[in-house]
Amino acid sequence: MPPKYTHTNTIKEHHGKPIFCVTFNTYDPANQDLVASVGGHQATVYRCHAHGRIEVLQVYVDDHTRRLNDEPKGEEEEFFCCKWTIDRASHAPLLLLAGKLALLRVVNCSTNTAVQTLKGHGKEVNDISVHQQHPHLILTASKDHSIRLWNIATGCCVLLMRGPGAHAGEVFTLDFHPWDPFLFVSGAMEGAVKVWSLKEHWSAIAASEVWSEPPQRRAFPVRLVPHPVFSSRHVHSNYVDCCRWLGDLVLSKSVDYKIKLWRPLYPDNPILETSSKFEVLQVFEQPGDIKLLWWVRFSIDPRGQVLVCGNPNGRTYVWEPGTGRPHRGTLLAHRQCTTVVRQTAVSMDASMIICSTDDGQLWRWDRQGPLTQQQTAQTAQQHATSSRRISRQRQVHSGGHAAVTSVMVSRNRNSSRSRGMGKVLMAAAQKERVAVPNKRLQYRRQQQ
Condensed to tens digits (0 to 9), the pLDDT of residues 297-331 reads: 999 999 999 999 999 999 999 999 987 776 778 99
- CATH level 2 (architecture), domain 5-67+74-370: 7 Propeller (2.130)
| Best CA proximity match to 355, nearest among 366, 346, 344 | 344
Share of the chain above pLDDT 70, in %: 78
Q: Would you state the pLDDT for residue 107?
A: 96
Mean confidence (pLDDT) of the chain: 81
pLDDT above 70 (res 404): no
Q: State pLDDT tens for residues 365-395.
A: 999 875 433 344 444 454 444 444 454 433 2
Domain spans in the chain, listed from the N-terminal domain onward: 5-67+74-370
Q: Would you state the pLDDT for residue 147?
A: 98
